[in-house]
Structure 1
């Protein structure tokens, strides 16, 4: 049985409520490694790169250009069972 880890938009500052997805740095269905750069976002005119929290297969849930709220799911990483 595989393990799914949700990648959610963190609140990077006190006033932040949403962010725009600028670019996915890995493709849907690609294998990613923990700590690998995953997605570039822009929030409050500041760009940030989020890293993969775990290793596994990336399943993108939010497309480039989408504006998503804090704690919304950006992607799911399907990993091997421990």
Structure 2
């Protein structure tokens, strides 16, 4: 199995962090490519981060209301090797 870290992307030039609004997945859940993972709010705009790979959610980093920095790990998806 391979581990894929999903990191908070920099969605605009001035963006340095974002608040987690709501998770759409739980640890242990299987997700498809491009499935909605988490809704974030950055610079007063909300955006949903999709799954970059299909696999099983192994770790969620942070809860609703937490602020995460750009490039910080949001979650880990385990994929078949």
Considering the TM-score relative to the shorter chain, is it more than 0.5? yes
- Would you say the 8 A contact 1:38–1:52 is kept in 2? yes
TM-score by length of 2: 0.95
Q: Identify the residue that residue 60 of structure 1 maps to in structure 2.
A: 60
- Runs of 5+ in structure 2 lacking a partner? none
Which 4+ residue blocks in structure 1 deviate beyond 4 angstroms? none
Mark the runs of 5 or more structure 1 residues left unpaired by the alignment: none
Give the structure 2 partner of residue 6 of structure 1: 5
Deviates more, 1:53-62 or 1:6-15: 53-62
What residue number does 1:39 align with? 38
Question: What is the aligned length?
Answer: 80
Paired residues of 1:62 and 1:73 also in contact (CA < 8 A): no
RMSD (CA atoms): 0.7
Match of 1:77 in 2: 77
